[in-house]
Chains A and B, each alone.
Chain A
Amino acid sequence: MDRLLLIAASFCFLFGFALSMHALGARVAHASRANFVAILSGFIFQSAFLYLRGEQLGRCPLTNRFEVLTFLSWSLVLFYLLTGSTYRLSLLGLFTAPLALIFQFAALLFPDISRGTVVKGPANAWFEMHAAVSVLAYGAFALAAIAGVMYLVQERQLKTHHLTSFFHALPPIHDLAVANRRLIFCGFVLLSVGIAAGFGIGSWHSHLAKIAWSVGVWLLYGFILTAEWRHRLSPRRGAWLSVAALGVVICTLWGITFLTERPSL
């Protein structure tokens, strides 16, 4: 049943993406609204899954790669739902839907090893907070990368003077740069909280590799933010870095998840 919820969510994201692509070609009005509804439906299915799984486990459902990737997809969509309407970034949904779908589909490829396991006792509260807030941070970074890709697409069209129908559908380049910066800031704050909570778990000296990875990501995004604030980094380079950093984050997350799945946790 719970896996079916995620399959339904995947179909919603796929439908939202297809709808946006069709609307982009046909320039149908209210396309972004239909896309929003499709993504919102997927989010509801994901939330239902996470709620049921949380009830079953008695803890935040972040116990294996399947759950972590689902939570990451959910975080990405959460930020899209919050940010998309705030900045009125049309077509953000077009880019969000496939990435959410990729995360969700990747999650479904992994064996769900928590299924049918005995409900564990209450987890370490610091660990719960550390894991949940960190994955939320990665969701913000993922959406920042999406805004970065949109910025680069728009920037290229403006620079080359070759304006396609995509150009008219994309948001203003300045808004994309601002969204990219704010999402990185938001993710950075969340990651800081996540790392701080990680130190509260105790026995942190036994997870040095994890801590080193997390601090590395924190420094990477800290560098991007500082350089942008000090006007040392153009929005174009900021956009490129946010996309590249997401690749690093995914690797980081992979490493963290690998470690959390070890029996010692």
Chain B
Amino acid sequence: MEILCFGLSHHEAPVELRERFAIPESRAAATAWELAKQDALSEAVVVSTCNRVEFYIATESAAEGFASARRVIAANFAEPEGFFRHAGPRSIRHLFNVVCGLDSMVLGETEILGQVKKAYGAAHEAGATGRNLNKLFQRAFNVAKEVRTQTKITRGAVSVGSVAVDLAEKIFGRLSECHVMILGAGETAEMTAGALQSRGVKTIFVANRSYDRAAALAERMSGRAVRFDDWTREIRAVDILIGSTAAPHHVLTAAELAPVMRTRADRPLFCIDLAVPRDIEPAVNDLDGVYLYDIDHLQNVAAQSMAARQQEIALCEQIIERHVGEFSEWLAAGGKPPLFGDAEAQRG
């Protein structure tokens, strides 16, 4: 029995090509089932995300398997040009890399594991999988779990929004009692506030020179719009301040903030300055209880996390290689001896 993998990913195919083959969730299971019922193929799983469309198939003959799958894809979507093709241990290694986030656009991201689990679950329910792909995917999920716990590949935030959320949690602990204020209505500020909102912040205030834009953003975020002239009055209640105005000068200075901080000595203030030119005077970071991060600081933290993740790749590959070897041996032996770790995978 051979395991084949072929498809498109962000590495070799631009979005214009990927979108031609994007398979909606509702059709993925049916496509897998259609592949699995071909004479040359016995099992199939279709993984379709914004960054990849991949077909995993089990077949007795690699050449016939590829040809048969190609016909199905051409009939349903388009002629599969530019697809990568892996067979044998390379296809197994590819799946393990994918579920561990090593093949992702953002190294070590964990969303892909959920997406692959979903794709496998749908194919399994549709009856498109059998003994070989069941074992392969269970093993893949097991590998992802091992890599996540034994290495630092998923540690640290790697985007501006997630760095801001991480820092906020390191300052306040739970964010459920935190009040956020956005100055300006920039896209990055909205995304950052959205990331904070997803962690359950209590209130979001939006202040902008154009009150209508502030009101529109506040409505989108279920927050409250504040007139720009009034925002300094609200700052006493604010825990996280996001600056993203287009003002050519500082809109908040240390001299303005110092008296406010004296009245709330036990409550820290986290200032996130996403504006260029900066909205918040750097000297506010010298005030007790104020933590100021501008866009460069946030990007530096994200870059440090990414560098730390990259240092973990070799360790991840060692773990993956061991599992590739074990699975290849099991497959070559006709699936006779039970695979070590399968019980854990089923439980996990």
Interface residues of A (CB under 8 A from B): 27, 29, 154, 158-159, 161, 163, 167-168, 170-175, 177, 228, 231-237
Contacts and interface: CB of A to CB of B under 8 A. Distances in A.
A65 B256 CA distance: 53
A161 B265 contact: no
Bin the interface of chain B by size.
20 to 34
B171 interface: yes
B291 A159 contact: yes
Interface stretch (B71-79, B149-157, B329-337): B149-157
A233 B300 CA distance: 32
21 contacts: A27-B155, A154-B170, A158-B167, A159-B285, A161-B297, A167-B170, A171-B173, A172-B169, A172-B171, A172-B172, A174-B171, A174-B173, A175-B173, A177-B266, A228-B265, A231-B263, A231-B265, A232-B265, A233-B265, A234-B288, A235-B265
A168 B163 CA distance: 12
A236 B266 contact: no
Contacts of A231: 262-266
B300 A235 contact: no
Given A168-B170, A228-B265, 6 more contacts: A168-B156, A170-B170, A231-B265, A234-B265, A235-B268, A235-B289
A236 B266 CA distance: 9
Given A161-B300, A177-B266, A234 B170 contact: no
Contacts of A163: 301, 304
Contacts of B155: 27, 168
Nearest to A170: B170
A236 B291 CA distance: 13
B137 interface: no
Contacts of A173: 170-171, 268
Most buried by A among B156, B167, B265: B265
B265 A172 contact: no
Contacts of A158: 167, 170-171, 291
Nearest to B290: A159
A27 B312 CA distance: 13
B270 to A, nearest CB: 9
A172 to B, nearest CB: 4
